[in-house]
Amino acid sequence: MHNKLFFKLLFTTLLVVSIQAQAKETAADNYKAYCVQCHGMEGNGKGVNIRDMSVQPRDHTDAKAMSGRSDDQLFKVIKEGGTSISKSILMPNWDGVLSDEEIRDMVVHLRTLCKCKFGS
């Protein structure tokens, strides 16, 4: 009897862990597909486009700058574009390309790139 419960719990845990891993992978994939041309393969703001850009993309590995933004602000600027938080129009809006859920996962991904949280 106990054994069965153990395996049920184990199975549920594995399922949850694998779904979480999948979400992370999707955000990393989306970053590679949509963000690296400006923000760079390493997320350091050195994408192939930058030579011709009048405003340089944010270095997402810059913990100091990125910790100055709340998750809500990051969500907003990704969804609605640079102008939504009084930043450059060169940061496109991704509404319609990324779902709200994918944008939330992207914010989590950005936090792993900067190794930072809001306010620290």
- By CB under 6 A, name the binding residues for ligand HEC: 34-35, 37-39, 49, 53, 55, 57-58, 69, 74, 77-78, 82, 87-88, 90-92, 94, 106
Query: Exposed/middle/buried for 106, CB within 10 Å: 0-12, 13-18, 19+?
Result: buried
Q: Least distance to ligand HEC from the beta carbon of 119, Å?
A: 14
Distance CA 52, CA 86 (A): 21
From the CA atom positions of the chain, what is the Rg in Å?
A: 17
Euclidean distance between the first and the last CA atom of the chain, given in angstroms as a whole number: 48
When the beta carbons of 15 and 116 are compared against ligand HEC, the nearer one is: 116
Q: Least distance to ligand HEC from the beta carbon of 19, Å?
A: 22
When the beta carbons of 11 and 68 are compared against ligand HEC, the nearer one is: 68
